[in-house]
Amino acid sequence: MGNNAVQTRILDSGVAVITIDLPDSKVNLLSASVMMELDQAVEQVKANPAVKGLIICSGKSDNFVAGANINEIQAIQNEPPVKAYEASKQGKELLAKIERLPYPTVAAIAGTCLGGGTELSLACKERLAADSPKTRIGVPEVQLGFIPGWGGTVRLTRLLGLQAALELVTAGNPVEARKAWKMGLVSEVVAPDKLMARAEEVALGARARRYVPSFKARATRTALEGNPLGRKVVRMMALKAIMAKTRGKFPAPLEAVKVIFAAATQQPDKAFEAESQAFARLATGQVSKNLVGIFFAQQESKKAPAGAACNLKIKKVGVLGAGVMGAGIAQAARYAGYEVVLKDIDASTINKELAPMAFVDKGMATIKGLFDSLVEKGKMTRQKADEMMAGIKGTIDYADLADCDFIIEAVVEKMKIKKLALTELQKVVKNPNFIFATNTSSLSVSEMAEGAANPSNVVGVHFFNPVYKMPLVEIVRGKQTSDATIACAKEFASRLGKTTVTAADSPGFIVNRILAPYLREAIALAEEGVPLADIDRAMKEFGTGFPSPMGPFELLDTVGLDIAGEVIRVLHNALGERMAPPAIMGKVEGLKLLGKKGGKGFYLYENGKRGDFNPDVLAAITAPRKPMGKTTIQDRLLLAMINEAARTLEEGINTDPSQIDLAMIFGTGFPPYAGGVLRLADQMGVKLTCTKLEWLSQVAGDNYRPAELLRKKAQEGSSFYAG
């Protein structure tokens, strides 16, 4: 049949087994052709009077079904909503056939079971899950801007109740096998090697070993969900939590709440219809198009340069510098399973009162604190945390790095010191092909490689602070960096769970290059007399900032005013007067303000918690108060970013608009609902964007002079993204 992705066999016991195994793919995806094969298999089983029960399983050991084919979702997004509605109805018809079969039906779930895979399993009367860390079950559709469309929203509500359905659908996070069992999402958890045998027993009528919740849990659910008032309270709490998290910018969770409550209060056919209509609206809406675009950009970002592969087996990682960044990188590398050596200088050479290992010990304490936090959150056992710490060696001796294959420097941001570190490493590291990775945020990777014995093995691997939270790593290609080294750097960062974007070696790379004008113009607005609180509020409402929305002044404090000042200086030297630091930055430096890490910046901080604006900074602003509307503030700051992003693309720092947008979303928290900086320009209209920039360049400075690429696209009537 078709792709031969679906196979059917009948066991001697009379149980039919439908196996999904998509050829030449690591995961099973439910494309239109696979659904057609599945439909034919169900009809075949249905027509066989000898069948006593049915098992649906996967031919892949670590994957049941990873969901629908996103390429087909994207294709539907370019069609009228009725096409999405029809696709939803067709999927429902197939699953309804499975649901109506007159004998026991069992989904045998091993590994990833997401989206359409979970909806398929819900059409079965029983779900058995392999007891393995690889088994993860969920409906992550809201993360792509829509909701389950094949009946999953309705079936989950009827199976689990309001609260559990709301938890699964509106957040979209999968759960592991045992949590799924305790929720009632699966009927039984089974040892992986016994899964199929037990599924056959259940398909022949054996009773599944369901989790029985406590009397208190059952009573609480009945009290909350068993009457109109209780349901109203649950709905109100759900909407309040969603609005607090999304500020109404993401429509999918809000629509999910409506469908879930329809499932709880209406007849099934009406609830299924409400789901199909909501799916069609959401899947063809702009927010979903933006989020699907980000998904594909992420997939593209994982690829190594064409024809390249990492030719280095990375076992031991060295980290130079035990400060906040170095310690964060060391902890992330160890958590990913690498052996780690953390080196810093002899502290007594800086301050004779300090012990030689003082800087290293402080870094090790930071790392221990990060692992302790995982233990406190229940994400790691104490024993495992101790094992992790035992795999990190702290040292002040370069010789201890001799066996490292991949070494990252996170030392002070001075070219001379970074070059000296590379020279010292080359004296002791045994592997002549070791990779030297720099975490620099502003210095030239090419210049750093000038003193290298093998400059092709020098690469930028730019993490963002805090390392454990920030998902982006910029991979920076120096003039002589090889494709194989780029592949190794991507492989390393990916193993740490990071999203990577490749950038050419240019001042500020991608993120800081585009972010700097945004921060600079925020400071310029403050100097003009626009209240700092109004500026921060306007951008928080738009949704900028990671991991949660924050305004530009809070962001500056989080980055560190010393680091931000250094980046602006580098960009000023490289790009000229349009990047000149605002005058207030000199006053900030004079006050020796560091931001959050120093307790004082644009805001005051106590024990890491943000307080009021710093009165010393407010006193440094001499301009009279100048109220400005939210939209005007947003235009000033967003257009500065759009303009610089166009220049970044124009200069070939990265030639793919989706990768530039991905960098800004994962590196700065640019709101995903907007799709990215360049995607926002397309949605505003490139011609209108250019017109606004022309006007701002006359009233607010040369930084707003439209990039040539923007002018060209405005004249042509074209956009950054095709279609």
Question: What are 659-682's pLDDT values in tens digits?
Answer: 999 999 999 989 999 999 999 999
Summarised one tens digit per residue, pLDDT across range 470-525 is 999 999 999 999 999 999 999 999 999 999 999 999 999 999 999 999 999 999 99
603 Cβ neighbours under 8 A, 6+ residues apart: 553, 554, 557, 596, 610, 611, 612, 613, 614
CA nearest 476: which of 451, 452, 512?
512
pLDDT at 3: 65
Mean pLDDT on 619-641: 95
Summarised one tens digit per residue, pLDDT across range 109-134 is 999 999 999 999 999 999 999 999 99
**Long-range Cβ pairs for the range 167-172 (8 Å, 24+):** 168/138, 168/139, 169/139, 169/141, 169/142, 169/253, 169/256, 169/260, 170/142, 170/238, 170/242, 170/253, 170/256, 170/257, 171/142, 171/253, 172/138, 172/139, 172/140, 172/141, 172/142, 172/143
Mean pLDDT on 222-232: 86
Catalytic residues: 462
Q: Which amino acid is at 203?
A: A
The verdict on domain 511-653+685-716 having CATH code 1.10.1040.50 is yes
pLDDT at 1: 40
pLDDT at 723: 63
**How far is residue 629 from each of residues 531, 626, 701, measured CA to CA in Å?**
11, 10, 19
Strand ranges in 377-427 using DSSP code E only, listed in sequence order:
392-395, 406-409
**Rounded distance, CA 539 to CA 526, Å?**
14
643 Cβ neighbours under 8 A, 6+ residues apart: 517, 693, 703, 704, 705, 706, 707, 710
Domain with CATH 3.40.50.720 in the chain: 316-504
Summarised one tens digit per residue, pLDDT across range 53-75 is 999 999 999 999 999 999 999 99
Residue 2 has pLDDT above 60, yes or no: no
Phi/psi at 565 (5° precision) = -65, -40
Burial class (CB in 10 A: 0-12, 13-18, 19+), 259: buried
Q: What are 9's strand-pairing partners?
A: 17
**Rounded distance, CA 568 to CA 515, Å?**
10
695 Cβ neighbours under 8 A, 6+ residues apart: none
Summarised one tens digit per residue, pLDDT across range 361-391 is 999 999 999 999 999 998 899 999 999 999 9
Query: Beta strand 458-463 with 435-438: parallel, antiparallel or unpaired?
Result: parallel
Per the model's pLDDT, the better-predicted residue between 586 and 164 turns out to be 164
pLDDT at 654: 96
**Rounded distance, CA 400 to CA 343, Å?**
8
Q: What is the 3-state secondary structure (H, E, C) of 525-593?
A: HHHHCCCHHHHHHHHHHHCCCCCCCCCHHHHHHHHCHHHHHHHHHHHHHHHCHHHCCCHHHHHHHHCCC
**Rounded distance, CA 342 to CA 344, Å?**
7
CA nearest 31: which of 5, 57, 1?
5
Domain with CATH 3.90.226.10 in the chain: 6-284
Residue 552 preceded by cis peptide, ω within 30? no
Residue 227 has pLDDT above 90, yes or no: no
Average pLDDT, the chain: 94
3-state SS, residue 402: coil
Q: What is the DSSP string of 223-234?
A: HHHSSHHHHHHH
Mean pLDDT on 238-266: 93
3-state SS, residue 611: strand
3-state SS, residue 191: coil
CA nearest 286: which of 662, 663, 676, 655?
676
Helices (H), 59-209: 70-77, 81-99, 116-122, 152-160, 162-171, 177-183, 195-203
- The fraction of the chain above a pLDDT of 70, given in percent, is 99
**Helix and strand tally (H, E) in the chain?**
30, 20
Residue 603 has pLDDT above 80, yes or no: yes
Mean pLDDT on 606-632: 93
**Given pLDDT bands bounded at 50, 70 and 90, which one contains residue 353?**
very high
3-state SS, residue 480: coil
Residue 617 corresponds to which tokens in the numbers above?
């900074």
Q: Which amino acid is at 527?
A: E
Query: Beta strand 499-504 with 392-395: parallel, antiparallel or unpaired?
Result: unpaired
Order across the sheet with 136-138: list the strands. Answer: 63-65, 112-114, 136-138, 175-176
Q: What is the 3-state secondary structure (H, E, C) of 313-348?
A: CCCEEEEECCCHHHHHHHHHHHHCCCEEEEECCCHH
Per the model's pLDDT, the better-predicted residue between 244 and 658 turns out to be 658
- Quick one: fold of 6-284? 2-enoyl-CoA Hydratase; Chain A, domain 1 (3.90.226)
Cα(first)–Cα(last) distance of the chain, in Å? Answer: 34
- Quick one: fold of 316-504? Rossmann fold (3.40.50)
Mean pLDDT on 398-422: 96
Residue 253 preceded by cis peptide, ω within 30? no
Domain with CATH 1.10.1040.50 in the chain: 511-653+685-716
